Amino acid sequence: MRMRRNINAQSIRIRMLASGSNGNSILLSSPGINLLIDAGLSCRELERRLALVGHTPADITAAIITHEHQDHVRGIGVLSRKYGMPVHINARTLKAARATTGEVPTARLFSTGDTLEMGNLIVQTYPVPHDAADPIGLSVDNCSSRVGIALDMGYATKLVKQRLRDSSVLILEFNHDPDMLRQCPRPWELKQRILSKKGHMSNGAALELLCDLAHDSLRAVVLAHISREANSTQLAYRMVSERLREIGRRHISVVVSTQEEVSEAVEA
């Protein structure tokens, strides 16, 4: 469903450059600032996808890295070295990512729980349960909107719910359908990891979280990190759309993000 809302001077524009097991990256734009959340594609592919939405890496004010897994950091080292892009990252993630990224000369360290000020955007970081060194979620605010971002995590803690509450737009992981995951050809050890409390959110768990967070001012939910082998975009979209209708939240737009294509623009 497409957003039908006039852009105003204080909006935050969201473009999912990629989302899935092979690479994740989100572009948040607000007047005077372009913020890249994760860089899980190669530098060349990120250059291509940014061009599709009218940008180059030189336009990016800064990047924030949520955790060190390859599908979130693949291109960040090259972006740092080639473009001098500031990279906000916590120390444990930087250390754990080095084998993938190489040197990140523009790294700017923060501690999980810190609040970062970037132009007119206030970025609140918080810990999430995932099998990484020091993984984080994000809440991005300006004076009129909030974007809540919770991707790789096994379940929603009380703190996660607090940080995501009152968002204008939610970007949530709808990673897998448990039955499809059990039947897919992935190794059993990987399936157990995904199903664990430090793994990934199932459709049902993410839907429960969404219903808990739904409110009159929530404009859209972006379904992210959908597994190719253990889920389908059609299944996730249908589950969310039907449930939102059942609870009287038809006003919330449902946007599906994919691995292959840049998403439509969503305004917060």
Angle at which helices 203-213 and 233-246 cross, to 10°? 30
End-to-end Cα distance, the chain? 15
Cβ atoms of 201 and 178 within 8 Å: the answer is no
61: closest CA among 40, 36, 79?
Answer: 36
Domain annotation for the chain: domains and CATH numbers: 13-267 (3.60.15.10)
**In angstroms, rounded to a whole number, what is the distance separating the alpha carbons of residues 46 and 37?**
12
- Ranges of beta strands (E only) in the chain are 13-18, 25-30, 33-37, 62-64, 87-90, 107-110, 115-118, 121-127, 136-141, 146-150, 169-173, 220-224, 253-256, 266-267
Q: Please, where are the H alpha helices in the chain? A: 43-52, 70-73, 76-83, 91-101, 158-164, 178-183, 188-195, 203-213, 233-246
What pLDDT is attached to residue 10? 78
**In angstroms, rounded to a whole number, what is the distance separating the alpha carbons of residues 238 and 254?**
10
- pLDDT less than 50: residues of the chain: 1-7
In the numeric block, the tokens 């204008």 are attached to 168
How many residues are present in the chain? 268
Q: Please, where are the H alpha helices in 145-231? A: 158-164, 178-183, 188-195, 203-213
What pLDDT is attached to residue 9? 54
Identity of residue 218: L
pLDDT digits (tens, 9 = 90+) for 134-171: 999 999 999 899 999 999 999 999 999 999 999 999 99
pTM of the model: 0.94
